[in-house]
């Protein structure tokens, strides 16, 4: 599934980063993902919304790794990832509002034919990000599936499969 993809990149750098730099690491991963996942997109407005998605993928990967104990639970790091996800999901409607096009975009035209429904999906994701509980590993494990479900629910309806080899 899409959120397993950045694990290689994360795995290779995670030992090098003390947890005090966790927030910076999350940001760096988001940026690195953005740079490496251009997919040939030339419209900067389309690239901006794809970058946002890649940033959420990176933040979500941190949390899924912790939930599966492939990464030690770190409350500060988890909180930073939650903060990223709250911010990114909040910006989805703004970045998708205009139907900017690019031959390499995976967005279905249905996004703009069903704008209210798409917006509701974004709101659900934002509510689930808000509802993430990062106090303990148990809390994280309990609250994470609801968020993941909102990512896949929107993708099932509004995103073409593609780039599977890099993002799913």
Residues at the site binding ligand HEC, with contacts judged by CB under 6 A? 2-3, 37, 39, 46, 49-50, 53-54, 56-57, 60, 85, 92, 105-107, 111, 118, 121-122, 125, 147, 150-151, 154-155, 158-159, 163, 167
Closest approach, Cβ 49 to ligand HEC, in A, equals: 6
27: nearest Cα among 73, 77, 67: 77
Euclidean distance between CA atoms 24 and 110, whole angstroms: 36
Distance CA 65, CA 11 (A): 10
Q: Which residue lies nearer to ligand HEC by CB, 15 or 56?
A: 56
Task: Closer to ligand HEC by CB, 20 or 44: give it.
Answer: 44
Continuous segment of H or E residues that includes residue 24: helix 22-36
Nearer to ligand HEC (CB atom), residue 134 or residue 150: 150
Q: What is the DSSP letter of 132?
A: -
* Residue whose CB is less far from ligand HEC, 60 or 80: 60
Strand partners, 159: 107
127: its two tokens: 């509510």
Least distance to ligand HEC from the beta carbon of 147, Å? Answer: 6
């Amino acid at each position: 599934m899409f959120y397993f993809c950045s694990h290689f990149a994360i795995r290779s750098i995670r030992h090098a980063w003390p947890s005090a730099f966790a927030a910076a690491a999350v940001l760096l991963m988001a940026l690195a993902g953005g740079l490496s996942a251009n997919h040939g997109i030339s419209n900067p407005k389309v690239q901006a919304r794809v970058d946002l998605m890649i940033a959420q993928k990176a933040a979500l990967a941190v949390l899924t790794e912790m939930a599966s104990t492939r990464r030690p639970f770190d409350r500060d790091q988890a909180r930073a990832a939650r903060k990223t996800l709250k911010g990114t999901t909040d910006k989805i409607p703004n970045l998708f509002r205009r139907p900017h096009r690019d031959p390499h975009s995976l967005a279905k035209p249905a996004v703009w034919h069903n704008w209210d429904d798409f917006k509701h999906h974004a709101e659900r994701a934002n509510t689930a990000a808000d509802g993430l509980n990062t106090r303990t590993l148990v809390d994280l494990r309990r609250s994470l599936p609801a968020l993941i479900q909102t990512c896949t629910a929107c993708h099932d309806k509004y995103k073409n499969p593609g780039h599977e080899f890099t993002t799913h």
